A and B are shown apart, each in its own frame.
Chain A
Amino acid sequence: MNNYEYSIYIPLLPLLSFLIIGLFGKKFPGRLAGILGTLVLLAVTLFSMYVAYEYFFVNGKQGGIYQHLVPYKFNWLAFSPGLSIDMGITLDAISAMMLVVVSLVSLMVHVFSLDYMKGEPRFSVYYSFLSLFTFSMLGLVVASNIFQIYIFWELVGISSYLLIGFYYEKPSAVAAAKKAFIVTRFADLGFLIGILMLAFYAGSLDFETIMKVLRDGSSPQSIAITSASFLGFSALTWALVLVFAGGAGKSAMFPLHIWLPDAMEGPTPVSALIHAATMVVAGVYLVARLFPLFSFNNAALEVVTFIGTLSALLAAFIACTQTDIKRVLAYSTMSQIGYMMFALGVSGYGGEHGLGYTASLFHLFTHAFFKSLLFLCAGAVIHFVHSNDMKDMGRLAKWMPLTHLCFLIACLSIAGVPPFSGFFSKEEILSAAYEHHKFVYVVGVLTAGLTSFYMFRLYFSVFWNKPDKVYDHHAHTGWMMKFALVFLAGFTGVSGFVPFSTFISSDGVPFATANKWMQSLLPVALAITGIATAYFLYFRESSTPEKIAQSFGGIYRTIYRKFYIDELYLFVTRKIIFNGFGRPAAWIDKHVVDGAMNGVAKLTARFSNLIKGFQSGQLQTYVMYFFAGVAGLTLLIIYLWK
């Protein structure tokens, strides 16, 4: 398939722009760095769309099944004849879809930032980091080898660190960047161990080979991995759970979610790109990529489901209490990713049973657009109000009409109101849950209601609420910002109508989904209830919300404090790890290791002190030694020499 030759340019062009903008960007006049970055990304987007078009509509299917293509493969580091790290490009349904999503959202963020970051002294540095991130994320989604995914995983982590800590003069930004990096790095420990286990048993690091070998129930490797067990779980379960742990860290699942709210210290377009639409879904993408293996192992799937559900519910609760716009959106991201995770968890494999898989990726697709739209609108609002807190905002519907409209569309979408895209994807998730796991379905519906409540709480507080509020300047949202907002709003509107399951399914075989209208009634009704509640509480200024919060008292405070999870982490780290391991280790290093070296030095010094008397410069001492030598030699020669 030589039509896929272009696919190599997709990750490499952003790398090139990173290098050029990074090395020479300071000398570029005005916004040239940004324009260059945006143009490169435009090319990348066009390539991605072309590749996706070729794959989905022209020749991706063979025999009715979407193929797993590997147009490029380059043997990089061979550990042994069978085991090697290859760098390559994999094209299959999910990677083609992700290419489109990542490049489109990144393009919109580039365009938005041309106006948002105008006047920023480190403008070119910002764009070079954005290009680095785009390169890393694109490399991640097309990885053909599990180690390659790990390499790009870390690269994405670095880009995230650089971008969160972009305003490095602020200590809170620096702390947030460190926290994000450390938490995800800690999760990646599990990921690495999982990779090593899979590589050990499968004898290869390639996705294709791993899946083929381990899925086949009769192959010796598969028997080995399922029979070796540790603490009652098979090695396959451990490997998959550990790999999922890495994904959970990157996707901010409970309990590794603590970095995501703090990551909002970065510039808002960065939050839109990385922490809403692309990087945080890397965990979901990983599980989807390894889904044939996961579906083989029920224990791992149960872990995925449990964590996803818990995260979705927890985040929804916390989001109801937060007052910072970006924090609300961060928790809502965590909640929606929880949806995607448990959708994968409840999914079966093959055809109709794989509805959860398709639904999860469909939600990923729609979520990318409406979440980045939400963040970019928040960015425009913050740009105007110069504050992140909802208390400083109000009545912006009159002052920022276009932003208001886009935000409303996105909110309706996330709440699951038809005919917007969120409705379709959320319905598929809920129906997949209904089929397989009723308890998860109930929690999902409850969370949907909470979602629409807190999103509209945000909407009403920001755009209505204070009828008399006056701002002292006019909004000057640049036309590029407006363009990005409108484009994304358009996508949010139409992307729901894409017949997703004809493209993406767990085993490559397209299937048709039926719309179960009756089943959708309950969630939509709950969504409308949530909107109405928010309207009554927040449309006009009133003290009812505070009274309700007071009446919940301690529970409200616990949720407001994010369930004290951060405090728990700090306690464990400070009291247990630092005091228990760090201090003794430092003591040993200082006193035993350094002490041994110093001891050797002191011994040498003491010995040299002892014998330095031989060179005292005292003539009479010399003479005495001289005489002693002569006398000794005389005695020796006369009496002992025979």
Chain B
Amino acid sequence: MSASSIFFYFVSAFILAMGLLAVTSKKIFRSAIWLLFCLVGIAGLFFWMQLQFLAAVQIVVYAGGIVVLIIFSIFLTQKAGTDLPKPATRRIIFSILATLLGFALTYTIIARHPFSARDTGPLNARVNEIGSQMLGTGRDGYALPFEVVSILLLAAMIGCIVIAMKTPAINLPGREKKGEPEKLETNSMTV
């Protein structure tokens, strides 16, 4: 039992515990925090696997970006203080059954499979290697996916702005007869 094994088991337990808390917590803000801890735990796992760059990206993007975004949305929908409603007992039971069944099925298949390594040696994941392969155009080059992902991010940005935009108040036809036209907010996505 070396130190790294202990560390691995500790981090794995931490991840699973935080995950469980995140999906069962009654208060939404706490759920977001449990999620944050879970993601940080996963970053720790990546660190243990000596993928420092990935761990850093995980912390920066996931923990620092997405969870913050989630917390903002919690505030925007004014649900921070209230408790979450408990789902129906039937649903909990079915979900637990489905989860356990799925887990059993998957892990049985995984555990029986002898994963044989093709080659040996440590994984060299230094940042400049990652960088040159990311922007490389030859074989194993990821320049095209890189560009596509950047377009995707651009589209996502524009999409978010349009979807979440408050459209200005318009006068509906047919209401003019009542005299003063009423002001209504609509969410028409007539783009």
The reply to whether the CB of A592 lies closer than 8 angstroms to some CB of chain B is no
Judge whether A624 and B105 touch: CB under 8 Å: no
Whether B109 contacts A638 by the Cβ 8 Å rule is: yes
Within the complex, the shortest CB–CB distance from B107 to chain A, in Å, comes to 13
Mask: chain B, 90-119; 1 = CB below 8 Å from A; 0 = not: 010011001001100100010000000000
Q: Which B residues are in CB contact (< 8 Å) with A620?
A: 91
**CB < 8 Å: which of A628, A634, A638 contacts B98?**
A628
Could you tell me which residues of chain A, from 596 to 642, have a CB within 8 Å of some CB in chain B?
620, 624, 627-628, 631, 634-635, 638
Q: How far is the CA of A161 from the CA of B109 in the complex (A)?
A: 92
A631 touches B101 (CB 8 A): yes
Closest beta carbon of chain B to A619's beta carbon, Å: 13
Q: Residues of B contacting A627 with CB < 8 Å?
A: 98, 102
Could you tell me if A631 and B102 are in contact, using CB atoms closer than 8 angstroms?
yes
B91: which A residues are within 8 A, CB to CB?
Answer: 620
Q: A635 touches which one: B94, B95, B98, B105 (CB < 8 A)? A: B105
B105 touches A634 (CB 8 A): yes
Cβ-defined contact, A624 with B109, below 8 A: no
Contact A624 B101, beta carbon cutoff 8 Å: no
Q: Could you give, for residues 374-392 of chain A, a 1 whenever the CB lies within 8 Å of some chain B CB and a 0 otherwise? A: 0000000000000000000
- Find chain A residues with CB under 8 A from B101 CB: 631
Give chain B residues whose Cβ lies under 8 Å from the Cβ of A635: 105
Q: Which residues of chain B are near A638, meaning CB under 8 Å?
A: 109
**Chain B contacts for A634, CB-based, 8 A:** 105
Shortest CB–CB separation between residue A618 and chain B, in angstroms? Answer: 10
Q: How large is the interface on A (under 10, 10 to 19, 20 to 34, 35 or more residues)?
A: under 10
Q: Which residues of A contact B95 (CB under 8 A)?
A: 624
- The answer for the CA separation of A634 and B105 in the assembled complex, in Å, is 9
On chain A, the residues within 8 Å of B94 by CB distance are: 624
State the CA gap A620–B94 with chains docked (Å): 12
Specify which chain A residues have a CB less than 8 angstroms from the CB of B102 in the assembled complex. 627, 631
- Minimal beta-carbon separation of B32 from chain A (angstroms): 20
Q: How many angstroms from the CA of A638 to the CA of B95 in the assembled complex?
A: 23
Q: Chain B residue with minimal CB distance to A627?
A: B98
Query: Given the complex, which residues of A lie within 8 Å of B105, measured CB to CB?
Result: 631, 634-635
User: Nearest chain B CB to A373's CB is how many angstroms away?
Assistant: 75
* Cα(A18)–Cα(B159), bound, Å: 81
A116 to B87, CA, bound (A): 91
Inter-chain contacts of B109 with A (CB < 8 A): 638
What CA separation (Å) do A638 and B105 show in the bound complex? 10
**B108 and chain A: residue at smallest CB distance:** A638
**Whole-angstrom distance between the alpha carbons of A628 and B102 in the complex?**
9
* Minimum CB distance partner of A621 in chain B: B91
CB distance from A623 to the nearest CB of B (A): 10
Complex-state Cα separation, A490 to B109, whole angstroms: 122
What separation, in Å, do the CA atoms of A631 and B98 have in the docked complex?
9
Instruction: State A635–B98 Cα separation when bound (angstroms).
Output: 14
The distance in angstroms between the C-alpha atoms of A635 and B109, with both chains bound, is: 11
Residues of B near A631 (CB, < 8 A) are 98, 101-102, 105
Closest Cβ of chain B to A639, distance in Å, is 10
Closest to B91 in A: A620
**Whose C-beta in chain A lies nearest to the C-beta of B99?**
A627
> Distance in Å from the Cβ of B164 to the closest Cβ of chain A?
20
Q: Tell me the smallest distance from the CB of B99 to a CB of chain A, in Å.
A: 9
Complex alpha-carbon distance, A620 and B91, angstroms: 10
Q: Which partner residue on chain A sits nearest B95 by CB separation? A: A624
Digit string of B73-92 for contact with A (CB within 8 Å is 1, else 0)?
00000000000000000010
**In whole Å, how far is A73's beta carbon from the nearest beta carbon of chain B?**
74
> Could you tell me the distance between the alpha carbons of A628 and B95 in the complex, rounded to whole angstroms?
11
Q: How far is the CB of B94 from chain A (nearest CB, A)?
A: 7
A452 to B97, CA, bound (A): 107
How many Å from the CB of B181 to the closest CB on chain A? 33
Considering the chains assembled together, what is the distance between the CA atoms of A402 and B184 in angstroms? 92
Q: Which residue of A lies closest to B98 (CB)?
A: A627
Q: Which of A508-545 contact B (CB under 8 A)?
A: none
List B residues 104-136 near A (Cβ within 8 Å). 105, 109
Distance to closest chain A CB from B39 (angstroms): 23
* Bound Cα distance A627, B102 (Å): 9
How far apart are A620's CB and chain B's nearest CB, in angstroms?
8
Q: Shortest beta-carbon distance, A21 to chain B, in Å?
A: 55
- Alpha-carbon distance between A624 and B105 when the two chains are bound, in angstroms: 16
Give A27-60 as 1s and 0s: 1 = Cβ < 8 Å from B's Cβ atoms. Answer: 0000000000000000000000000000000000
Closest CB-CB distance, A622 to chain B, in whole Å?
13
Query: In the complex the two chains form, what is the Cα distance from A635 to B108 in whole Å?
Result: 12
C-alpha gap A638/B110 in the complex (Å): 13
Please provide the chain B residues from 7 to 31 with a CB less than 8 Å away from any CB of chain A in the complex: none
Docked CA distance A627–B94 (Å): 12
Q: How far is the CA of A628 from the CA of B101 in the complex (A)?
A: 10
Q: Which residue of A lies closest to B106 (CB)?
A: A634
Q: In the assembly, what is the distance between CA of A635 and CA of B95, in Å?
A: 18
Minimum distance in angstroms from B103 CB to a CB of chain A: 11
Q: Cα distance A628–B105 when bound, in Å?
A: 12
Question: How near does chain B come to A386, taking the closest CB pair, in angstroms?
Answer: 61
Rounded to whole angstroms, the CA-CA distance of A546 and B13 in the bound complex is 123
**Residue on A with the closest CB to B94?**
A624
A620 to B95, CA, bound (A): 10
Q: How far is it, in angstroms, between the C-alpha of A634 and the C-alpha of B98 when the chains are bound?
A: 14
User: Residue on B with the closest CB to A628?
Assistant: B98
Chain A nearest CB: distance from B62 CB in Å? 23
- Say how far B51's CB is from chain A's closest CB, in angstroms: 30
- Taking the closest CB of chain A, its distance from the CB of B92, in whole angstroms, is 12
Cα–Cα, bound, A620→B98 (Å): 13
Interface string of A457-487 (1 = CB under 8 A from B): 0000000000000000000000000000000
With the chains together, A638 CA to B106 CA distance in Å? 11
Complex A-B: 14 CB contacts under 8 Å:
A620-B91, A624-B94, A624-B95, A624-B98, A627-B98, A627-B102, A628-B98, A631-B98, A631-B101, A631-B102, A631-B105, A634-B105, A635-B105, A638-B109
Binding site for A on B (CB under 8 A): 91, 94-95, 98, 101-102, 105, 109
User: 4 closest pairs, A vs B, by CB?
Assistant: A627-B98, A631-B102, A631-B105, A631-B101
* Additional 11 contacts, C-beta under 8 A, given A620-B91, A624-B98, A631-B105: A624-B94, A624-B95, A627-B98, A627-B102, A628-B98, A631-B98, A631-B101, A631-B102, A634-B105, A635-B105, A638-B109
